Amino acid sequence: MHIHARRRRTAAAVLALAVLTTGAAACDSSATKSSGAEGSGGTLVFARTSRGVTDLNPTADELATNNAYTLDKIFEPLVELQKNGDIKPLLAKSYKVADDGRSWTFTLRDGVTFSDGSALDSADVVYTLERHLEHGGALPLSAPITAVTASDARTVVVRLSRPYAPLLADLATFANVILPKDLDGRTEKEFFNNPVGTGPFTLSSWDRTTGEITLAANKTYWQGEPAVDKVEFTVVDDDNQLLQQLQAGQVDVIDSVPAANVAQLRANPDVKVTVSDSWQQGLLAFNTADGAFKDVHLRRAVAAALDRKAIAKATTYDTAAPATTFLPSSIRFSAQDTKILGYDPATARAELAKSQHSGGLSTTLIVENSATSQTQQAQVVQAALAKIGVKVKIETLDSTTFWTRFGKRDYDLAVTWAISDTGDPSNLVNWQLLPDAADSYHTGYHNSEVTKLAAQGVAATDDTKRAEIYAQIQQIAADDVPTVPLTYIPTITATRSDVHGLVVLPNGTTRLRDVTRK
């Protein structure tokens, strides 16, 4: 799921899972090398609102969003997430899965080189996947892989102990980008301070103090040199400054437009605003392991006291949709017909009466001070719960303090967000509902039936069966309420009007290889 202390999300893709039962091959018939986009070159200034880049190691134990969304411009995976959630071959030109679903064969493209000119071959892929299996890191490779071998210089075979439906989705993430074998003989520190990848950009400069980083076009990129010469990633942590700099032409791209400012930017002819589907959700999290919210009836009372439609309208200016399940509607097997505890004050009071706090209680809610919509949601939650006798004190924290406390489960209630790294439901199930993955997103939730169903969900090779399994999981989560999904949040990106070709992916990252300025 997207990255917090690892990254805020958990979350790639609509899989062609029929191949598990048919054994059919998937391939990309496009030309190996394109001519590159025509444009004016120059520098693209990309402003981000969260902290700067601190690490380019894809298997680091802690990996912030900006780290992941920078290294994926330098390195590339075997298969690639598309804007619509599909997965297509990238460094692999094709793949084939065995009839029993227990081995996948990837055939590499010819003519792919790293930025230092060395050729990509199967030894690099074997090394990378084995390294990830050993290191784990922020987004572990959880497939039941028993061996990764090279049949020849162009062929890699991944063997599994049992079928694993999300394998392609996992391989498409930033954590499985392909590195040169043995890191070119350098130490990890040496290599990731000056990395070599197959991607469209290379590292030009990096200010470790501010985290601001500049990438240069890879002139030997196998799909053709990018049209822009450089990409400067800057950090602007004030929304007003961010908007002013975009409108003044000081920056070219901002990737997190505040919902309240969408109309203002759309009125500016020098600016383009794009609202894209994403795998992100806003949510209210409970500490289900310690304190009052161990009581499921109290959690259910809170869920029924919240009007999600009103929350979406009031705090996101109608840019976000009210949420139902913890799986956003754009994710495969999201069961939007799940019976949730919708807004019903009578039910809220009845559930409160069943709880150990039937007379009400006082509690504390934490929220980040940098997120306007979330602080507004915290206030709405506070007002709604007061009506059923739950008094909420809001603690507005800086981002570092918030994620430290949330990660240690040092809270009662928390308004926050999550985003899936992949479009397979297993990603958010693992991240939000299983105790082994970040303590069920720092809620402490555990349900043995969910754990059992989750294992069945990744092993099933039939889409109908998978849909049934994930529908069951979503219903259990709706009944147990470890979190209240509040909104499904789109990605709102703004660029100068002369920027073309920017691709925004549903997991929150942007693809820059085809960007032009004209």
On whether residue 272 sits in a domain, the answer given is no
pLDDT band (50, 70, 90) for residue 60: very high
- From residue 115, alpha-carbon distances to 38, 122, 427, 442 in Å are 21, 17, 32, 40
- Verify that 292 and 209 share a domain, yes or no: no
Average pLDDT, the chain: 90
- Return d(Cα 439, Cα 436) in angstroms, integer: 6
Distance between CA 307 and CA 176 in Å, rounded?
40
- Per-residue model confidence (pLDDT) at position 26: 56
Percent of the chain whose predicted confidence (pLDDT) is above 70? 92
Q: Do 312 and 222 share a structural domain? A: no
Same domain, 222 and 283: no
202 plus 66 within the same structural domain: yes
Question: In the β-sheet with 92-97, what is the strand arrangement from edge to edge?
Answer: 25-27, 92-97, 103-108, 155-160, 145-152
Q: Quick check: is 167 in a domain?
A: yes
Whole-number pLDDT of residue 6: 34
Distance between CA atoms of residues 451 and 123, nearest Å:
36
Percent helix, percent strand, percent coil in the chain, to nearest 5: 30, 25, 45
Compute the residue count for the chain.
518
Residue 241, CB half-sphere, CA atoms under 13 Å: how many? 8
Question: What pLDDT is recorded for position 20?
Answer: 35
Query: For residue 477, how many other CB atoms are within 10 A of its CB?
Result: 24
What is the rounded distance in angstroms from the CA atom of residue 44 to the CA atom of residue 252?
6
**Does residue 261 form part of some domain?**
no
Question: CATH number of the domain that 160 lies in?
Answer: 3.40.190.10
Phi/psi of residue 64, nearest 5 degrees: -75, 160
- Domain harbouring 401, CATH code: 3.10.105.10
Same domain, 49 and 181: yes
518 located within any domain? no
Whether the pLDDT of residue 111 is over 50: the answer is yes
pTM of the model: 0.86
Cβ 175 vs Cβ 137: under 8 Å: yes
The reply to whether 223 and 282 lie within a common domain is no
Does 44 or 3 have the greater pLDDT score? 44
- Number of folded domains that form the chain: 2
Query: CA end-to-end span of the chain, whole Å?
Result: 36
What range defines the domain where residue 165 resides? Answer: 43-227
Contact assessment for residue 41 and residue 229, using Cβ atoms and an 8 Å cutoff: yes
What are the tens digits of pLDDT across the range 180-212?
999 999 999 999 999 999 999 999 999 998 899
Cβ of 419: how many Cβ atoms within 10 Å?
A: 26
The answer as to whether 513 is a domain residue is: no
Report phi then psi at 295, rounded to 5.
-80, 110
pLDDT at 461 over 90: no
What sign for the dihedral angle of Cα 215, 220, 226, 229?
Answer: positive
- For residue 11, the model assigns a pLDDT of 32
**Inside any domain, residue 369:** yes
pLDDT at 372: 83
Please state, in angstroms and rounded to a whole number, the distance separating the CA atoms of residues 246 and 46: 10
Q: Where are the alpha helices (DSSP H) in 43-121?
A: 65-74
**Of 196, 227, 258, at which residue does a domain stop?**
227
